[in-house]
Amino acid sequence: MLFYGTELSSRLMLGTAQYPSPEILADAVRAAQAGVVTVSLRRESAGLRAGQAFWSMIRDLGVPVLPNTAGCHTVKDAVTTAHMAREVFETDWIKLEVIGESDTLQPDMFALVEAARILTEDGFKVFPYMTEDLVGAERLLQAGCEVLMPWGAPIGSGKGLNNLFGLRALRAHFPDVPLVVDAGIGLPSHAAQAMELGYDAVLINTAVARAGDPAAMAGAFRLAVEAGRIARQADPMEERDMAVPSTPVLGRAVLA
């Protein structure tokens, strides 16, 4: 799987927030065999180099880092945070979040497209957190994005894939664009379902971090992602409205 020309070792991406301790986070990342970890940037980090022990631990895990602009509600904030993240983490990858609604943390698609255009022109490789909006997806691609990250459900809700029609439509309309389901996944079965729909990866945070045993849950998600991917490649049967006998009746003996 290639993201902006970089091959990842796994289709499971893992967030690093809300874990009980750095040690538990490290155990979860290892159990997940994550291909990418996402990290948030506090605004003071660039100037004061705060939290360096945490960043050092993340680097020691040897997993590619995807900084994000979590908590940003305007284009200006998102662009500024992205530039700070590039300085701190020495990467031009950025998960772009521009939140438009506080209760659901729904992305502001208008601001997202504008911020994506600015950052792409500044040399960033943008991973936009978006809704399953086909028109918005097209605009983001036109703005220079090569990966799209539609939500499954509101961040941290654990509701799974709320809009299967929308996610299927997005996959069908953009068959060659890497798509990652980001946000709302609560169970390994949700992750498997996303992979069965043909998505290229999933990003998980709260479902692992808030589990009673984060490392065990991370391992479960790893297996679910692998199973979902294999199932997709195996060309699964289509759903039917009526029963179809699994044992043929023709040729069977009939007892009078």
144 appears as a binding residue in the annotation: no
Cα–Cα distance, 9 to 2 (Å, whole number): 10
Per the structure block, which two tokens stand in for 85? 């993240």
Q: Label the pairing between strands 12-15 and 201-204.
A: parallel
Backbone φ, ψ for residue 74 (5° rounding): -135, 160
Please identify every residue annotated as catalytic.
Answer: 95
Long-range residue pairs from 145-148, CB within 8 A, at least 24 positions apart, any chain? 145/116, 145/120, 146/3, 146/4, 146/177, 146/178, 147/3, 147/4, 147/177, 147/178, 147/179, 147/180, 148/174, 148/177, 148/178, 148/179, 148/180
184 appears as a binding residue in the annotation: yes
183 appears as a binding residue in the annotation: yes
205 appears as a binding residue in the annotation: yes
212 appears as a binding residue in the annotation: no
Cα–Cα distance, 37 to 61 (Å, whole number): 10
Residues of the binding site for 1-deoxy-D-xylulose 5-phosphate: 156, 183-184, 205-206
Q: Residues within the annotated binding site?
A: 156, 183-184, 205-206
